[in-house]
Structure 1
Amino acid sequence: MSENTKKWGYLFVLSLIWGSSFILMKKALIGVTAFQLGALRTIFTALILFTVGLKSIQTIDKQAWKWVMLSGVFGSFIPAFLFAIAETEIDSAIASILNSLVPLQTVLVGFAVFQIASTKRQVFGVILGFVGTALLVVKGADLNPHQNYLYAGYIVLATVMYAFNVNIIKRYLQHLKPLTIATGNYVVIVIPALIILYFTDFFESSNLNHPELKMALMYVFILSFFGTALAKVLFNNLIRISTPVFASSVTYVMPIVALTWGFLDGEGFSMLQAFASLIILLGVYLANKKA
């Protein structure tokens, strides 16, 4: 199999995995609370990464640990809870489209905090992306009056944290392998996740045998294994055999998968929201397009 065929295969599989993660969160929330979902996702992913990458953390130097910690908090820990909280009120498909704001937020954070220069085209792409976001949220609130679309703010906040994480890794952790960074992240955040899970009363015996909880745990495990651990390995391979620009194009395909799952699950979606989604994706494209 040629590398060109492989890279398209990786792109398809990653889009399928990450595009499906939003419906998995939605289904898991039937049996667990948002805080339980965030904590369990962190714990399961930590256990998976520890089995293959724990020895690699010995290569993390003392100076890098503070950046590994910040990367874990901003890139994994807090967003896991923010997405879970958001999906208690808004549809999974909308959550996936809002997640596409990450490249735009990366441009903004890189410029504002890390003094990374931005072009006029990138600035225009950012503005366009946020116009599309506003349209998407306003129309979503109109289409689903029983849902609180202010919860979309949790996802926007999560995308800002993802943007900080990307810039931290680019500037301070480039000398470490991706698996080492990921494992180090979860070494830092697994204990807080266990503490949060304990205080949610998850371990009460009356809850552990509930059928909905068992199904929820299955969804969380699938989300953790495929959506986090396996996807990281595939994404690293995609970057190795292609270019960062090609690899980032997974952002454009993910919402298609998520929208399909949302439609099959009975979620409403209007033509105006489809138009707003295209505006967001166009903004992402302009903000990341090479000159």
Structure 2
Amino acid sequence: MAGNSLKWVYLIILSLIWGSSFILIKKGLVGLTPVQLGAIRIIFTAVFLFIVGFKRVKSIRLRDWKWVVLTGLLGTFFPSFLFAFAETEIDSSVASILNSLVPLNTIILGFFIFNIKSTKRQVLGVFIGLVGTLLLILNGASLNPNQNYLYAAFVIIATLMYAASVNILKRYLQHVNALTIAVGNFVAIFIPAIIILGFSGFFTYEVLSAPTLKPALLYMVILSLFGTAIAKVMFNRLVHIATPVFASSVTYLMPIIAVFWGVLDGERFGFLQAVATLIILIGVYLAHKRK
């Protein structure tokens, strides 16, 4: 399949997988704390990736390891915990919409840190996207007064980390195989996740005997296999065959999938939130659109 067609196939599949990941996080939090969920998600994913590609680690050159470790921390480790904490207070659908900031942050970080020039259209897109974000948060706070929308900051921080990871992948790891990068990422973060899980209180009788644990772990298996392991490899491959901004624009379609699951699960999603979502996506489109 031609590269131009293949990148769209990857984009659609990733949108379906990652769009469903937010509701899986929400369901997992019924039986797990945010720290436990983040650690287990990383551990399960690492096991899946090690089974299929651990031998690839030896092909990573010593000088590339610092970038592999950094993208592992920024692209997976910290966001796994940040999204879990965020969804203890805000709806899964809102978290997915805020995740749409990744392409905008990719441009912002690309300009300020990686010296990638931005056009006037991209600057306008970033401004519009930020306005939409502010509207979404303010309206969500009024629509759900029992939720603490300050937790939206966790998602915004995670999107900055994702954006940094995308730029690093494109600039410094373009020559490394996508699966190899993913396996290397989890080699770097696997042990820290085990240590965190050990100190999280997971291995206590109260947690291990709770009836909510088994369904929560099932959700984590699904999330880890599809939402992290398979999707991570696909995303790394997408970054290789497309631009960083195109790769991060997977967030165009993700909110549609996530809002569908959220509403189906009883989450409130008002008209102004839909307008704010549209404004964010218009901003992302303008920032991404070529001349």
TM-score by length of 1: 0.93
Aligned partner of 2:103: which letter?
Answer: P
Aligned partner of 1:72: which letter?
Answer: G
CA distance in 2, matches of 1:4, 1:184: 27
Equivalent in the alignment of 1:158? 158
- Classify the secondary structure of the residue corresponding to 2:154: helix
Q: Does structure 1 conserve the Cα–Cα contact (< 8 Å) formed by 2:89 and 2:151?
A: yes
- How far residue 66 of structure 1 moved from its aligned partner, in angstroms, is 1.1
CA distance in 2, matches of 1:70, 1:6: 27
- How far residue 173 of structure 1 moved from its aligned partner, in angstroms, is 1.2
- Please say which of residues 247-256 and 204-213 is displaced more in the overlay: 247-256
Identity %: 62
Matched, 1:88 2:88: yes
Aligned partner of 1:74: which letter?
Answer: L
CA distance in 1, matches of 2:87, 2:285: 26
User: Which runs of no fewer than 5 residues in structure 2 stay unpaired?
Assistant: none
Equivalent in the alignment of 1:73? 73
- Classify the secondary structure of the residue corresponding to 1:138: helix
Equivalent in the alignment of 1:121? 121
Equivalent in the alignment of 1:63? 63
CA distance in 2, matches of 1:104, 1:75: 16
Is the alpha carbon distance of 1:90 and 1:200 closer, same or farther for their aligned partners in structure 2, counting shifts above 3 Å?
same
Aligned partner of 2:251: which letter?
Answer: T
- Classify the secondary structure of the residue corresponding to 1:101: helix
In the TM superposition, 1:1-291 aligns within 5 A as: 10-235=10-235, 243-244=242-243, 249-291=249-291
Is the alpha carbon distance of 1:156 and 1:249 closer, same or farther for their aligned partners in structure 2, counting shifts above 3 Å?
closer
Coordinate RMSD, CA, aligned: 2.1
Is the alpha carbon distance of 1:247 and 1:82 closer, same or farther for their aligned partners in structure 2, counting shifts above 3 Å?
closer
Aligned partner of 1:143: which letter?
Answer: L
TM-score by length of 2: 0.93
CA distance in 1, matches of 2:161, 2:226: 22
CA distance in 1, matches of 2:89, 2:169: 32
Is the alpha carbon distance of 1:134 and 1:176 closer, same or farther for their aligned partners in structure 2, counting shifts above 3 Å?
same
CA distance in 2, matches of 1:5, 1:159: 27
1:153-200 per-position Cα deviation (integer Å, ceiling 9, x unaligned): 000000001111111111111121111111111101011111110011
Is the alpha carbon distance of 1:74 and 1:94 closer, same or farther for their aligned partners in structure 2, counting shifts above 3 Å?
same
Aligned partner of 1:277: which letter?
Answer: T
CA distance in 2, matches of 1:8, 1:115: 27
CA distance in 1, matches of 2:151, 2:73: 21
Is the alpha carbon distance of 1:173 and 1:52 closer, same or farther for their aligned partners in structure 2, counting shifts above 3 Å?
same
1:190-221 per-position Cα deviation (integer Å, ceiling 9, x unaligned): 11111110011101133213220111000011
Is the alpha carbon distance of 1:234 and 1:124 closer, same or farther for their aligned partners in structure 2, counting shifts above 3 Å?
same
Tell me the matched-pair count.
Answer: 290
Aligned partner of 1:78: which letter?
Answer: F
- Classify the secondary structure of the residue corresponding to 1:146: coil
- Classify the secondary structure of the residue corresponding to 1:100: helix
User: Which runs of no fewer than 5 residues in structure 1 stay unpaired?
Assistant: none
- Classify the secondary structure of the residue corresponding to 2:145: coil
Aligned partner of 2:279: which letter?
Answer: I
1:93-136 per-position Cα deviation (integer Å, ceiling 9, x unaligned): 00000001001001001111111111111111111111000000
- How far residue 76 of structure 1 moved from its aligned partner, in angstroms, is 0.5
